[in-house]
Amino acid sequence: MVNKINTRCDLMLFGALGDLAQRKLFPALYQLERANLLADGSRVLAIARTEADTETVRQQLFDKLKQHVKPEEFDAELAKSFLKRVDYQILDFNEPDAFGVLNEWRDDANNELIVYMATPPSMYGVIARNLRSASCCTEKTRVVVEKPIGHDLESSKVINDELGEVYNENQLFRIDHYLGKETVQNLIALRFANNLFASQWDQNHISHVEITVAESVGIEGRWGYFDKAGQIRDMIQNHLLQLLCLIAMDPPSDLSADSIRDEKVKVLKALKQITPDMMDSYVVRGQYTAGTSNGKPVPGYLEEEGANKGSATETFVALKAEIDNWRWSGVPFYIRTGKRLPEKLSQIIIHFKPAPHYIFDPDQKHLANNKLIIRLQPDEGMALKILTKDQGLDKGMRLRQGPLELTFSETFATDRIPDAYERLLWEVMKGNQYLFVRRDEVEFAWRWVDQVIQNWKDSGEPPKRYAAGTWGPVASIAMITRDGRSWYEDV
């Protein structure tokens, strides 16, 4: 059972009228209220540049909650009582003198203070400095920032330095919302609570690993942002490398934030550089053209609203990552992620090596490796593919592959799976950093991704085309086929 925290907290939310705040953060806070987890007296100051008064903003937030909370979880009375905790403050983020007003809102300086910057990262430093000059923060203030932390290693260092000038690392909560997903945290439980897997988790027993994070949506009106980032910065630098770390890291000595983060950093440091001569066989980048999505025709990336027709930004990346350490030597991690793929699906497949000596029908040898399938979304669960004897007199010792299946929504049907942001906000309130990304993680991830981007730039090659609604360029299939393998197809 989760216990309410008793400490009252004041949450200052910069960018409170933006998409993230309205779609994710307020619904998450509402869910914490619904679970009776917010301490009495905890309050939220919604801060933005738009002229409005508190009542108007509360009404707007009410409408958005209604839109974004599942109907069966929405209670209008509860939403209204939650919104009484929320006040609105118009603020020019660039104006140091304006920040004094934030202190006036706080009625007890002893309340915990959480500052959430749901703003473009270019504003983090300015907001941090202005909060400091208005004496709006102490050494206990917790500060939450969103990705992207920069667009390469150098720019991420600038942002981290600016934040570091004002806050200590133990005050900074860098969000990667994948770490807030229940099933992603489950990777830690799966690996370190089950000795069965621990003894099999290395190059002696695993042949390769697949990580797929596929989305059926396109750019969703975010062309301006996305075109500067591309799929490698938007998804691989953060979410996919975090998943890779959780699969590949050594067991931490405990569940503390730094024990886990130290192990993740070791993996990022051990990622093998992808040099220019490796690019053709290790990396595929793609861009979608017109096609179909969920049975409807959809435009190509270059025909989306606001598109620059000459853009060479990738909407798909498949790559082969290798980890230069004892545990993973010789075990490729095939990673792919893209927009406008056939469905929304995130899954990890651990392919185990076959038994050392095979005694069954030679034509079934291809079945002989066990697979652990970890489904992160949408149908959260796990399946361990094992081999059994096919039943029947006529089958002899023919083999059959079947799953040991755990589908969370069936086995634990009464449990509600919280949204990532509920968990993350809750952990910030408790001051627990283990689901947040430390500065060195961000920087080592950029270091690895930067060299791939540089290789792309140097080669001048355009991305390969794929039709919306397909699994990416054929070259991504060729990449894995060359190694005698294929993408897991049971999707």
Would the annotation count 64 as a binding residue? no
Sign, CA torsion 229/230/235/240: negative
DSSP string, 443-475: HHHHHHHHHHHHHHHHHTPPPEEEETTSSS-HH
148/241 Cα distance (integer angstroms): 14
Of the two residues 216 and 292, which places its CB atom closer to ligand BG6 in the complex? Answer: 216
| CB of residue 234 to ligand BG6, shortest distance in Å | 5
Would the annotation count 84 as a binding residue? no
Would the annotation count 483 as a binding residue? no
| Number of residues engaging ligand BG6 in binding (CB under 6 A) | 2
340/318 Cα distance (integer angstroms): 14
Element (H, E) at 480: helix 474-481
Asked whether the beta carbons of 341 and 214 are under 8 A apart, the reply is yes
| CB of residue 281 to ligand BG6, shortest distance in Å | 27
464-467 and 283-289 beta bridge pairing: parallel
| CB of residue 215 to ligand BG6, shortest distance in Å | 5
Would the annotation count 262 as a binding residue? no
Q: What share of the chain is helix, strand, coil (3-state, %, to 5)?
A: 40, 20, 35
Of the two residues 57 and 184, which places its CB atom closer to ligand BG6 in the complex? Answer: 184
Of the two residues 234 and 450, which places its CB atom closer to ligand BG6 in the complex? Answer: 234
Q: Structure tokens of 119?
A: 């703003």
| CB of residue 344 to ligand BG6, shortest distance in Å | 7
Would the annotation count 63 as a binding residue? no
Q: Is 146 in the site for ligand BG6 (CB under 6 A)?
A: no
106/125 Cα distance (integer angstroms): 22
Burial class of 298 by CB neighbour count within 10 A (0 to 12, 13 to 18, 19+): buried
Residue 366 annotated to the active site: no
Would the annotation count 205 as a binding residue? no
| CB of residue 238 to ligand BG6, shortest distance in Å | 7
206-214 and 296-298 beta bridge pairing: unpaired
Would the annotation count 234 as a binding residue? yes
Catalytic residue from among 68, 205, 208, 239: 239
Element (H, E) at 420: helix 420-430
Q: Structure tokens of 204?
A: 């002696």
Would the annotation count 33 as a binding residue? no
CA separation (Å) from 13 to 138, 186, 259, 264, 290?
A: 17, 29, 30, 29, 39
| CB of residue 194 to ligand BG6, shortest distance in Å | 26
Would the annotation count 226 as a binding residue? no
| CB of residue 116 to ligand BG6, shortest distance in Å | 16
Among 33, 162, 215, 227, which residue sits at the site for ligand BG6 (rule: CB under 6 A)? 215
Query: Which residue's CB comes closest to ligand BG6?
Result: 234
Of the two residues 234 and 304, which places its CB atom closer to ligand BG6 in the complex? Answer: 234
Of the two residues 282 and 316, which places its CB atom closer to ligand BG6 in the complex? Answer: 316
Of the two residues 218 and 252, which places its CB atom closer to ligand BG6 in the complex? Answer: 218
Q: Is 234 in the site for ligand BG6 (CB under 6 A)?
A: yes
Residue type, 356: P
Asked whether the beta carbons of 16 and 102 are under 8 A apart, the reply is no
Binding mask 362-401 for ligand BG6 (x = CB under 6 A): ----------------------------------------
Q: Is 443 in the site for ligand BG6 (CB under 6 A)?
A: no
CA separation (Å) from 404 to 26, 186, 383, 389, 401?
A: 38, 17, 5, 15, 10
Of the two residues 227 and 234, which places its CB atom closer to ligand BG6 in the complex? Answer: 234
| CB of residue 225 to ligand BG6, shortest distance in Å | 8
Of the two residues 7 and 377, which places its CB atom closer to ligand BG6 in the complex? Answer: 377
The three state secondary structure string of 350-404 is: EEECCCCCCCCCHHHHHHCCCEEEEEEECCCEEEEEEEEECCCHHHCCCEEEEEE
DSSP string, 63-97: HHHHHHS-GGG--HHHHHHHHTTEEEEE--TT-GG
DSSP string, 276-315: GGGHHHHEEEEEEESEEETTEEE--GGGSTT--TT----S
Scan residues 155-194 and list those touching ligand BG6 (CB under 6 A).
none
Would the annotation count 344 as a binding residue? yes
Report the catalytic residues.
Answer: 239
Binding site for ligand BG6 (CB under 6 A): 215, 234
Annotated binding site: 49, 92-93, 147, 177, 181, 215, 234, 339, 344
Q: Which segments are annotated as binding site for substrate? A: 177, 181, 215, 234, 339, 344
Annotated binding site for NADP(+): 49, 92-93, 147
